A and B are shown apart, each in its own frame.
Chain A
Amino acid sequence: MPTARTGPSFLWLLAGGVPVVVVLAVLPPFIGVYQTQQLTYGLAFAIAALGFNLLLGYTGLLSFGHSAYFGAGAYAVAFIIQRLHVHSLELCILGAMLGAMLVSALFGYACVRHTRIFFGILTLALSQVLYSLALKFFWVTGGTDGLRASWNGLTLLGGLIDFKGSGAYRRFVVSYYYYVLGLFVVAVLIMWVIVHSPFGKALQAIRDNETRAGFVGIRVRRYRWIAFIISGLFTGLAGALWVPLNGLTTPEVLYWPFSGEIVFMTVLGGFRTFFGPIIGAVTFNYLKVYAVASSQYWQLVLGTVLVVLVMLLPAGIVGTLGQLANKLRPKQLQQG
């Protein structure tokens, strides 16, 4: 039997992940409603960034149109709640995943025929088609007003949890936090398995050298398409989870600057690492919230952070920490 390293251990993931999840689980009573809400936003965005990074970090495709799949999920949930009067969030999420899958399958089919800048521009252009449709088809989408998706009519876990009576908002925020945390953990586990599966290895091979990938028998375009759809599904789930928290969805989540924010989150955390996009998304959410609260020139603050990031920490937060850990290791050995 081979004794050398054959891959990342699942135990290692559990050893690192369980304490983090435990800390996240005990946090709400200590941090209050507002911070719990912010953390929920962060976790939802983390699912989007995780999906986005399957394309960027693992398949080597930079999408500037992921707002489309986030928006598809968000609009699907709002539409199902408002127009179809469905209360079960599980049904809404199912509808949202279906919507995101259809849009990503359709857009992806066209986009994966190209790579590099052509791929980026095509994803951007197609997402803006969806943005225009959201603006123009106001009888379906509510136009610039968007669609409201009120939290107080919702039920979680097939009707087990509803939000009626006094203190309902607080109960919603806390329950919803755990709901999103649960789905976040499931999403992380699924993505971890995908990137460590033979399929995940094939995507990395395509990223490194698509010509050779073809010559080892990998159907490059088909695999890119599947990756695109999975990526869209994760981002669509994030959009679906974001809506009840936000209370409504507007065309802004389909607009290209939001795609830029998803890229920003991923680069901030480090797109060459599995956990980078997660850390990046949570950090970005806080960064934006505090920048907006503290200055009317918040875009300037975010822009400066991005410039500093690209110039000083191109590997992102997690990537840089990993590099630091590698540098420290030999020193410890010398000392020992």
Chain B
Amino acid sequence: MAILQTIELKRYFGDTRAVDNVNLSVNEGEFVSLVGPNGAGKTSLINVITAHLKAGSGKILFQGRDITDLSVTERVRLGIARSFQLVNVFDDLSAFDNVALAIFSREGKTAHLSALAHRDHAVIAEADDILSQFGLAAKRDDNARDLSQGERKLLDVALAYALKPKLLFLDEPTSGVSTRNKAAIMDTIASVVRGRGITAVIVEHDMDVVFKYSDRIVVMAQGTVMAQGTPDEIRSNEQVAMALLGTSGPAAFDQHSLPQSGPQKG
């Protein structure tokens, strides 16, 4: 059953068609990868679905309900969460407070003025549990700004995960992270997300990562969905290989990775 459906979704910036007539369907429990060259409209599509950008036209259905006109916080309350391509956390709060805040918000407790946050043992235990699932337990009391790039990326995902979303968008969770750490971060994210049966849509440039973790791959180009299918179908789709890599052939994807849009460290 589709948890998310977009119907003829459009968002233009002047003459640039960032999202052009996208009809996308994501099934419950799926791990979907969104791939495509820089400027294909992947992040714009996520921005429109999560209300970071207003839709130009078209409809977004979440669990069958039209959410096109709902605000960011209303969509979050329904169970849509996201992480960001450029790390977007609360820099002057500790890693613990970052995650605890998301839990307080999810529980509707951020409106509480007269309770002490550090006395809420249920939230403390859950926040500590999430930090250890993401391998951040040792950095619990460090301010987010003092964490390494990889740790900040994980914290960004942990923040979204702590909201217990039904649908989670991860925008390049390994961009800007050294190649050595990429696999570990993706393993962590995939095991946590799959462990809870969360439907996930991930934007990723590393095709090894995409083929390894995805149930389904959606290929975007120039604001439109040009192909979609299982990893095997996409791997053998010459049109896709040509569009993404500029080359085709039986082993095209084994030798190439898509260029990243974010800063990359060796």
Contact = CB atoms under 8 A, between A and B. Distances in A.
Nearest to A9: B118
Contacts of A200: 113, 117
Contact of B112 (A4, A199, A213): A199
A198 interface: yes
A201 interface: yes
Interface string A215-237: 11111000100000000000000
Nearest to A196: B116
Contacts of A207: 92
A193 B116 contact: yes
Contacts of B96: 6
A211 B51 CA distance: 11
A216 B117 contact: no
A142 B197 CA distance: 69
A327 interface: no
A196 B90 contact: no
Contact count band on B: 35 or more
A83 interface: no
B113 A199 contact: yes
A208 interface: yes
Contact of B110 (A1, A5, A198): A198
A211 B88 contact: yes
A212 interface: yes
A193 to B, nearest CB: 6
B102 interface: yes
A209 B113 contact: no
B140 interface: yes
Interface string A2-19: 101111101000000000
B166 to A, nearest CB: 14
Given A10-B116, A198-B112, A212 B159 contact: yes
A202 interface: yes
A196 B73 contact: no
Given A197-B117, A201-B97, A218 B105 contact: yes
A205 interface: yes
B202 interface: no
B106 interface: yes
Given A212-B159, A215-B82, A219-B73, A201 B104 contact: yes
Interface residues of A, number: 32
Interface string A247-266: 00000000000000000000
B91 A208 contact: yes
Contacts of A223: 110
Interface string B137-167: 0001100000000000000000110010000
B115 A201 contact: no
A209 B117 contact: no
Contacts, number: 110
B101 interface: yes
A208 B90 contact: yes
B115 A209 contact: no
Contacts of A193: 113-114, 116
Interface in B16-69: 50, 52
A193 B118 CA distance: 11
A50 to B, nearest CB: 15
A199 B128 CA distance: 20
B207 interface: no
Given A215-B50, A218-B105, A197 B113 contact: yes
A67 interface: no
Contacts of B89: 209, 212
A205 B144 CA distance: 12
Given A211-B88, A218-B105, A7 B116 contact: yes
B192 interface: no
Q: Which of B109, B117, B141 has the most CB of A within 10 A?
A: B117
Interface stretch (B119-127, B178-186, B216-224): B119-127
A201 B113 contact: no
Contact of B159 (A10, A216, A219): A216
A209 B90 contact: yes
Given A217-B73, A219-B73, A197 B112 contact: yes
Nearest to B91: A208
Contact of B117 (A10, A201, A208, A213): A201
Pick the 9 closest A-B CB pairs, nearest first: A7-B118, A217-B76, A202-B110, A208-B90, A198-B104, A217-B105, A6-B118, A214-B72, A216-B102
Interface of A: 1-2, 4-8, 10, 193-194, 196-202, 204-205, 207-209, 211-219, 223
15 contacts: A2-B124, A6-B118, A193-B116, A194-B113, A194-B114, A199-B112, A204-B92, A204-B93, A208-B92, A208-B93, A212-B88, A213-B90, A215-B50, A215-B81, A216-B101
Given A10-B116, A198-B115, 6 more contacts: A199-B111, A207-B92, A208-B93, A212-B89, A214-B73, A218-B105
